[in-house]
């Protein structure tokens, strides 16, 4: 079917995790939206690890949900094992993770996309961009027809000039059995966008019926499994599957080393830079020669599929070596490989060429999201897609861009890292990247972001009602705990005993006692009938507020200082060559990133305190000149 002369307000290229969130956000905000994808049934596909969440990544998923996105709903409906990580550590680094049924996940996401009002699916391939005077105007499809739009969001994943590597074999493709997108990459280059060459990879898939699980250590999910979405009390599938753990060994490493000269990572065949925090098994063996073994998680890709994903042995070695290394591992001696592992090399755009709202600085109406911006991971992609979708709509409505800063969410941290610092390798989110992580916990993502989602038009009445019910429950629980006074000494022993604390010396409210590190918080609701109805999520919030009050106050003060730096704005057309004494190197770095504020300028790698001081003096002088001009009128 020809799509010539069709016009939409927003066009999204690609229906991966970034594309789905972008298209859904735009459509839910009321924009007439179309998503262009050659395989609509693979919307939200998981070509690598079939899981959602993880340390840092779980926070992203909760934030997407709090703003009205879809990823959390989808994993709650299709997850087959749920775990909360870092539970022995503080709340700042606790994160959810879930193993997905990758087929059900894609089916559900495809169904949501195809049944969302204002959203049209165009089953085709985008081959180029329509543009005029550095303003995007639409997309060219593979049949030559044109689709017009005021905003275009590119979410191409690993498909831009994608090249699959397996041993000496190199095949054009974005992922297995799917071709690359070469002409679209050319179109971006013609617009003047700086391109990078990156690389990622995936392991072989194994047949579960050929694995000896008796040799392996099982890993079970949590009971009860905790959902990702703030809208859900339970996950859809309570009956969870088990994953299993095994390890490489010295024989495995010998096999890998014997074929290292045939690895495209080491023989010069691959030019792209791979992810430091998710390296291939050959990379790990070469970089860490003293390590006697590396852990492998055997993860089912679906509830009713024989495919198993061996997380930890991503590889692009030749087939015969892959077979040999897999069968050297305990429990996998007779394992049958259904699909071989491979590496994929692809083009990405230097993210410093983007505004913090993910619009290309030099091309109006063109937005980028996902791996095209140098990230790795479904969660990072989805977070960017949501922000790009929001801002694509705000662009066509001539509204101010929506930007999350580093004090508001992990999504803000990620996008600021990308657009301020750029990437030299695929970017992955960690809690350690967020300097205000105690403020940006996964448990309070709704309190931070749902009011913003409501203002944007993404939070519907049901979510808004549920959010307000939770906030009311927290306020009510705080009042109840403040009112509940525990007497000192023996008179209060029948309260302090069940709470697991020693008798107190002064009359104290139960709310004040939440500060005590030895308090058994689970026992609070059993002390009195007036406490039995307190909501667990409300108690959790109050417990964190009290237990970490000093740390929270300190981070709030640090966040205020951060926002102060962000308030000193730098005009888009500011000429750094005009700053007296500013070295050429500093001029180049600042001119490349074009920071929006003095605070952002300070985060650019290599910018010195002396350069910031010179910049501050110049900005203050400029502000005085503007004030004088205004007063003279």
Stretch 390-404: mean pLDDT, rounded? Answer: 97
pLDDT band at 492 (very low <50, low <70, confident <90, very high): confident
**Would you list the DSSP string of 343-373?**
EEEEEEE-GGGB-TTSBBTTSBTEEE-SGGG
Tell me: the pLDDT tens digits for 295-341? 999 999 999 999 999 999 999 999 999 999 999 999 999 999 999 99
Q: pTM for the full model?
A: 0.95
Whether 171 contacts 153, CB under 8 Å: no
For residue 626, the model assigns a pLDDT of: 61
Residue 620 reports pLDDT greater than 90: no
Residue among 95, 75, 97, 67 at smallest CA distance from 17: 75
Tell me: the pLDDT tens digits for 423-471? 999 999 999 999 999 999 999 999 999 999 999 999 999 999 999 999 9
For residue 120, the model assigns a pLDDT of: 98
pLDDT band at 630 (very low <50, low <70, confident <90, very high): low
Residue 250 reports pLDDT greater than 90: yes
Mean pLDDT for the chain? 94
For residue 633, the model assigns a pLDDT of: 53
For residue 24, the model assigns a pLDDT of: 98
Stretch 249-261: mean pLDDT, rounded? Answer: 95
Tell me: the pLDDT tens digits for 94-106? 999 999 999 999 9
Beta strands, E only, 284-440: 295-300, 307-311, 337-339, 342-349, 366-368
Residue 627 reports pLDDT greater than 80: no
Tell me: the pLDDT tens digits for 193-202? 999 999 999 9
Looking at the chain, the whole-number percentage of residues with pLDDT higher than 70 is 98
Tell me: the pLDDT tens digits for 111-133? 999 999 999 999 999 999 999 99
Whether 299 contacts 321, CB under 8 Å: no
Instruction: Using only the alpha carbons of the chain, give its radius of gyration.
Output: 26
**Three-class SS of residue 26?**
helix
For residue 1, the model assigns a pLDDT of: 44
pLDDT band at 190 (very low <50, low <70, confident <90, very high): very high
Q: How far apart are CA 454 and CA 535, in angstroms?
A: 24
pLDDT band at 187 (very low <50, low <70, confident <90, very high): very high
Looking at the chain, the whole-number percentage of residues with pLDDT higher than 90 is 86
Whether 501 contacts 516, CB under 8 Å: yes
For residue 5, the model assigns a pLDDT of: 64
For residue 432, the model assigns a pLDDT of: 95
Residue 4 reports pLDDT greater than 60: no
For residue 267, the model assigns a pLDDT of: 87
List % helix, strand, coil for the chain (3-state, nearest 5): 40, 20, 40
pLDDT band at 89 (very low <50, low <70, confident <90, very high): very high
For residue 274, the model assigns a pLDDT of: 83
pLDDT band at 393 (very low <50, low <70, confident <90, very high): very high
For residue 532, the model assigns a pLDDT of: 87
Number of helical H runs and strand E runs in the chain: 19, 24
For residue 501, the model assigns a pLDDT of: 85
pLDDT band at 375 (very low <50, low <70, confident <90, very high): very high
For residue 391, the model assigns a pLDDT of: 98
CB-neighbour burial class of residue 4 (10 A; exposed 0-12, middle 13-18, buried 19+): exposed
């Amino acid at each position: 079917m020809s799509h010539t002369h069709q016009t939409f307000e927003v066009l999204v290229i690609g229906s991966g995790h970034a594309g789905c969130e972008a298209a859904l956000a735009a459509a839910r905000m009321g924009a007439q939206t179309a998503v262009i994808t050659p395989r609509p049934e693979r919307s939200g596909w998981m070509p690598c690890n079939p899981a959602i969440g993880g340390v840092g990544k779980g926070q992203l998923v909760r934030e997407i949900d709090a703003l009205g996105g879809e990823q959390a709903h989808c994993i709650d409906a299709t997850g087959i094992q749920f775990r909360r990580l870092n539970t022995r550590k503080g709340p700042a680094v606790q994160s959810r993770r879930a193993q997905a049924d990758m087929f059900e996940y894609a089916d559900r996401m495809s169904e949501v996309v195809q049944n969302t009002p204002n959203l049209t699916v165009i089953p085709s391939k985008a081959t180029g961009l329509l543009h005029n005077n550095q303003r995007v105007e639409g997309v060219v499809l593979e049949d030559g027809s044109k689709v017009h739009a005021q905003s275009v969001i590119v979410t191409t994943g690993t498909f831009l000039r994608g090249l699959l590597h397996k041993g000496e074999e190199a095949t054009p493709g974005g992922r297995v059995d799917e071709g690359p997108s070469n002409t679209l990459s050319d179109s971006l280059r013609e617009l003047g966008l700086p391109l990078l060459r990156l690389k990622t990879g995936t392991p072989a898939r194994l047949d579960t019926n050929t694995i000896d699980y008796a040799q392996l250590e099982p890993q079970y999910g949590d009971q009860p499994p905790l959902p990702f979405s703030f809208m859900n009390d339970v996950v859809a599938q309570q009956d969870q599957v088990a994953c299993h753990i095994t390890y490489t060994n010295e024989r495995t490493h010998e096999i890998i080393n014997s074929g290292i000269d045939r690895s495209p990572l080491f023989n010069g065949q691959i030019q792209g830079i791979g992810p430091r925090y998710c390296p291939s098994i050959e990379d790990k063996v070469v970089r860490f020669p003293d390590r006697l073994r590396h852990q492998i998680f055997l993860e089912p890709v679906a509830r009713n599929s024989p495919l198993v994903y061996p997380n930890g042995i991503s590889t692009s070695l030749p087939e015969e070596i892959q077979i040999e290394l897999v069968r050297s591992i305990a429990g996998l001696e007779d394992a049958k490989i259904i699909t071989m592992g491979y590496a994929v090399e692809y083009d990405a755009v230097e993210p410093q060429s983007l505004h913090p709202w993910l619009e290309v600085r030099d091309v109006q109406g063109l937005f980028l999201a996902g791996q095209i911006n140098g990230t790795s991971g479904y969660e990072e992609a989805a977070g960017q897609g949501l922000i790009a979708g929001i801002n694509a709509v705000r662009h066509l409505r001539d509204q101010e861009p929506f930007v999350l800063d580093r004090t508001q969410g992990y999504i803000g941290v990620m996008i600021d890292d990308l657009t301020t610092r750029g990437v030299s390798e695929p970017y992955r989110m960690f809690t350690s990247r967020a300097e205000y992580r105690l403020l940006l916990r996964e448990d309070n993502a709704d309190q931070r972001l749902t009011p913003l989602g409501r203002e944007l038009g993404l939070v519907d009445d049901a979510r808004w009602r549920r959010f307000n019910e939770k906030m009311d429950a927290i306020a009510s629980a705080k009042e109840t705990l403040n009112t509940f006074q525990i007497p000192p000494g023996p008179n209060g022993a029948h309260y302090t005993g069940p709470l697991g604390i020693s008798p107190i010396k002064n009359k104290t409210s139960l709310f004040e006692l939440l500060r005590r590190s030895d308090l058994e918080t689970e026992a609070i609701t059993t002390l009195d009938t007036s406490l039995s109805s307190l909501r667990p999520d409300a108690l959790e919030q109050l417990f964190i507020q009290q237990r970490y009050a000093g740390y929270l106050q300190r981070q709030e003060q640090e966040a205020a200082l951060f926002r102060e730096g962000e308030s000193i704005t730098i005009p888009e057309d500011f000429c750094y060559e005009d700053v007296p004494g500013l070295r050429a190197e500093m001029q180049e770095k600042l001119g490349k990133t074009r920071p929006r504020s003095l605070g952002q300028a300070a985060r650019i790698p290599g910018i010195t305190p002396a350069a910031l001081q010179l910049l501050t003096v110049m900005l203050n002088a400029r502000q005085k000149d503007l004030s004088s001009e205004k007063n003279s009128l």
